[in-house]
Chains A and B, each alone.
Chain A
Amino acid sequence: MTVAGMLAGMVGASRNLQLAEPAKFGLGERVLLAALMLGSAGLFAWRGAPIALAIWGSKKDEDLRLRPLGRRLWRFFWEVLCQAKVIRQRRLPGLAHALVYWGFLAFALVTMNDLAEGFGCDFLGHAGAFGTFYEAFAGVWALLVALAIAGLFARRFLVRPKWLGEVSPESGVIALLIFALMATYLAMLVVKQHSPAAAYLWWAHTLVLLTFLPIIPGTKHLHLLLSPLTVFLKRPEFSQLPKLEGDEDFGLVAGKDLTRIIALQAYSCVECGRCTEHCPAAATGKVLNPKEVVLGVKTFLNVHGPGSDAPLLQDGPEGGQRALSMQAAFACTTCGSCEYQCPVGVQHLPVLIGLRRGAVNTGAWEDRYGTKLFLNLEKQGNSLGMGAAERDKFIARQGFPLFDGSQEYCLWLGCMGSYDPKGREIAADFARVMQALGTSFGVLKKESCTGDPARRLGNDLLFGELAEQGLKNFAAAGVKKIVTICPHCVRTIAGDWREYGVAPEIEHHSEFMARHAPLLESLMTGEQGGSIVYHDPCYLGRYREVYDPPREVVAMAGELVEAERHRERSFCCGAGGGLAFLGEEAGERVSHGRVRELINTGAKTIGTACPFCNSMFRDALGQVGGAAPPQLLDIAQLVARRLPVLAMVSGEPRS
């Protein structure tokens, strides 16, 4: 139905339908109504006050700024008013929810007028043209809301999708109340003016409304009031970690470290389970359940109140809150699906990484592999624990020119590009692409890790040292523009380093190659390479919203095929969040599930854009790839194999 058609229909309907009003109330009825309204509001306040206090009493977010206001307003418009996220990620139930929401907005005016009428005041102008139209307009919405809520009720109690968890009787009650509100309203449109039926319906409608109000606090229906604020106030960046303030801030250690934003988000949770549905850890049998983590924070605040000294993480059998355990926090790959999916503005990553920060910064986290990784980063300056001489040899062997300030780009190799055999191949192939384009570049004589795994695992000391060192190295070398094969390096340098200073401009090689696509295509020789399924790396997709450039690159090399989950719904390879360096996973390996999905597309080649994804899939293909696994290549390799071979021109002779 078009909007114009709808409006025309409503105007037509408004001629025939008029909201039946009860006869004017006497003093007794008015006193009763006032008492009921006061009672309802009082009960609402009594149930809501502890929650308001828990949020307001939590720690102030020192880094909270309203800027960028434009982006916040847009997000409010798009995610709240348009319900875009709700609809997009779950089409049918999302639309039903949107109808209920829009219906509520349409109803606000009618409801206020309804209550005012009880006291003999009709500000909407009941008999006037606008009043008549608006009440009929609300009637259309009442019908839509009634249908939508009935559908949602059926979904919840008959279809029972597992992500909703235990079906709560309270949501059934709420659905019935909403349905009753709409039904009574619709009935009022057909009964006679000032009839006893009109009075009964009015009282029924009003009583349902006054019952509805106090139920809201203390249930997930609080999202109705909080989530618009939560969406508006959430941190502007994806996976944005607050700066640690002062000498006693080590991340989320105890209740008193929970901030107002975290508390607000926890109380906004609507328990829809999108976060858990898309979580690679939850999907492969790990302890982590992002929804339970958020609800764990809420329960913690309900039990301990704000500002408590009680520790947040409770491991072991006696810990009543398994949701907030160290085991759960360290099972997160930081893929960000949860945060991306959440329709009410909950940001899971600052909580999960915050809990890790609390555990690592205080030394509470003891893990053989984690400690080894940290010591490797401390002593060797790279996550693979290799000697810098190995990198020197690789650079010399490849004949990479050293960056001396005269070249346009600094080619950042990263740990994988410097030390991992496959990562080196990718770096070398991308260097060939740059060379074919005639772009001048050089590599730094010495690189140390950007600190990505330390950052995601919550080691602020180590991350800070590496970030400062990295900024110093770029400044000393006079680097203006960086390009790299690793999305983790891009995100860390462009995003996380900002806490320590301004880094040179950096881009991912997919963006670089897409920008040079016409020239690259003119240089290409030979046949296209058949079907290629492209896997979106989390740190390029959800973290930076770079979806199209790598696809353009893939399309140059062959026929682009999409996996079932792609773009913003792409499923993690299992490497992120430092997990590539930790021990064996519990349950199924994340990489195995993903690689099966990629194989099932039937593509001849799997195209990756991150050396960590590539490394995970390399292992997974060996395990579950079968007799004839697809080829595994980085997008730089896809391009390079169609370019004529050139000898690398070294910037300076090297021994």
Chain B
Amino acid sequence: MPETITRNSHLSVIESGIAPPAITLQDVVFERQGKALVDGLNLTLTANGTTVLMGPNGAGKSLTLRLMAGLIAPGQGKIRWNGVETVPSQRVALVFQKPVLLRRSVRANLTHALKTYGVPRSAQPQRLEELLKMGNLTELADRPARVLSGGEQQRVAMVRALAARPKLLLLDEPTASLDPQATAAIESLIRTAAAGGAKVLLVTHDPGQGQRLADEIVFLNHGRVTEVTGASQFFDAPRSREARTYLSGHLLF
């Protein structure tokens, strides 16, 4: 579906010609038990801004995210990160709906991440303090991470991802089980990451969140990209019938 890619040429980041495609999926197919869950997906993500991945359950959003993180390999098709087929894992960070925190203190969780991401030992203490402050976690630094509230745990997971200074930040419904206040805190961290130059790709079921954060919307259905549209246009007048149906609250089959 190459026209999908050309269709989003109205986006300023592409028109300017400055930002090269950071990540390209070409005819990607991912099957499980003989069923194509991602079915010939074509998508080019620009290097900047926040792209929100929307679509009904089972559309292949989470799988697309995992393909982009290099956690699973496509059965067919190609994925390129800045033109090469190897995932630059140290600059790609992933946050899950249910935060996976190590059985350690908040501080030790972040130190572990800094070490894993190859931050020099001498720079670690300062980066650690920055991250704690960014996540409003300084008070909680020495608490065991897994006794914190859901919102606090997700803040730890977010700043841990930011410890990578990621070029690509992949977020799989990070606020799906959070209350509005905790959601606002996570969204603020997402904005900080995007402002810092990270490409953000966010999966969400919340159209409001899409409107608040997205520069562009990618709408998926049945493992394919249905449309790629600038955010304001998407919510005013989505082009595809599937997206119109989804936004109007009807069920998609």
Whether A associates with B in a native complex is no
Q: Which residues of A contact B (CB under 8 A)?
A: none
